[in-house]
Amino acid sequence: MTSENIKQSAETPEKDAFSSFFSRKLSNDFRTISAKRLDCKIFMIDCQQVFPVKKQDYRLHIHQEYEVIIPHRIYHCRLNNTELTVNAGELLILQPGDSHQDHLDPDESYNSFRFSCQMADLLPVENILKDITPEQHISIIRDNPSIFKICDLLWDEINNFSGGRFLVANGIFQGFFWEILFSYDKRLINENLLNEAKKQSEIRKFLDVMHRHLHDFPDIPKLCREMGMSRSALSRLSVDNFGHPPLRMLMYYKMQYAGECLHCLPQITIKELSDKLGFSNQFHFSKVYKRFFNVSPSKHLGKHKSGF
């Protein structure tokens, strides 16, 4: 038997329909209208549960992609000319360019996840962890139950759906990736990834703030306080990612929400919707709605097409 085939893979309900609908978050919908593309794209290539059939060294190889190894009990390998031991409750990340050799043993089974990470506009390509020693490839995860829960969820998806539905499995892997990345010392993580994580966190917080103010009209100082940002930083975040300054973005958020309400809840009245969105009267609401969509809200009320 050759070394190549030694590895074997194996919220509380509201009282009425309007309130229930109104309590939904639309943050995910609005993330898709970001004016700028992500700086980082993660794609899972494959995953394996490796159960070696005999004790033998796997061939020495140079990695072309990333791999995360999580042992069930213990795992031994040679990484960049250094012998390593990875214990249960730890993980090992391998990066493109790493020289790696598994020391396979029937008593040393492990999970393996291979993936690619594309960071935009970076030439030459940089690894997600920078200038690290072989020992620094190991991270302690035993105190982070989220990693194991996401790992189990990923395997459930793969095992229950004959190899997994790619979009679902890859979506689960996104959460897995960020959890394992931040198990490492931030000083070791590529600044572009840290910036990407910070940007996405700020976008999520911004959309949460927008949703909290569906019922009222805060001023810029209040939004700045809630975001913990200066006026210029808040404006830059809103314009760069959504194409609108903050207050116009809030109005746009309200109007998109109103449009979906009118489409899905034909029993509501224009006045009721106007009141829920914090307008002083329904005539002001109708005027703003028409300015955004070139049609009055009454034209959309109860129609089974949104046109948005």
List, in order of start, the domains of the chain with CATH numbers. Answer: 17-35+195-300 (1.10.10.60), 39-190 (2.60.120)
- CA 30, 198, 216 angle in degrees (round to 5)? 45
Which amino acid belongs to residue 2? T
Highest mean pLDDT among 103-107, 159-163, 207-211, 297-301 belongs to 103-107
d(CA 71, CA 234): 44
Query: Exposed (0-12), middle (13-18) or buried (19+): which is 223, by Cβ within 10 Å?
Result: buried
In terms of pLDDT, which residue wins out, 194 or 125?
194
- CA 15, 18, 22 angle in degrees (round to 5)? 105
d(CA 68, CA 81): 19
- Of the chain, the percentage scoring pLDDT greater than 90 comes to 51
CB atoms within 10 A of CB 201: 10
Alpha-carbon torsion 190, 234, 282, 255, what sign? negative
d(CA 44, CA 270): 47
d(CA 245, CA 230): 14
CB atoms within 10 A of CB 50: 22
d(CA 102, CA 115): 18
Range of weakest confidence among 34-43, 61-70, 74-83: 34-43
Q: How far is residue 207 CA from its own chain's centroid?
A: 15
User: Which pLDDT belongs to residue 259?
Assistant: 86
User: Which pLDDT belongs to residue 285?
Assistant: 95
Residue pLDDT, tens place only, 142-187: 998 889 988 888 888 887 766 567 778 888 898 899 889 989 998 9
- Determine the average pLDDT of the residues in 44-51: 92
For residue 134, give both structure tokens: 């072989």
d(CA 136, CA 133): 5
pLDDT level of residue 299 (50, 70, 90 thresholds): confident
> Residue 18 to residues 21, 24, 74, 204, 276: CA-CA distances in angstroms?
5, 10, 54, 25, 10
d(CA 97, CA 62): 6
DSSP state of 75: E
The whole model's pTM is what? 0.60
Q: How far is residue 181 CA from its own chain's centroid?
A: 13
User: Which pLDDT belongs to residue 24?
Assistant: 39
- What residues does 114 pair with on adjacent strands? 46, 67
* Closest-CA residue to 50 (of 96, 121, 143, 114): 114
Residue pLDDT, tens place only, 265-290: 878 899 999 999 999 999 999 999 99
* Closest-CA residue to 254 (of 213, 218, 305): 213
Residue pLDDT, tens place only, 79-125: 999 999 999 999 999 999 999 999 999 999 999 999 998 776 554 56
* Closest-CA residue to 246 (of 256, 258, 233, 255): 233
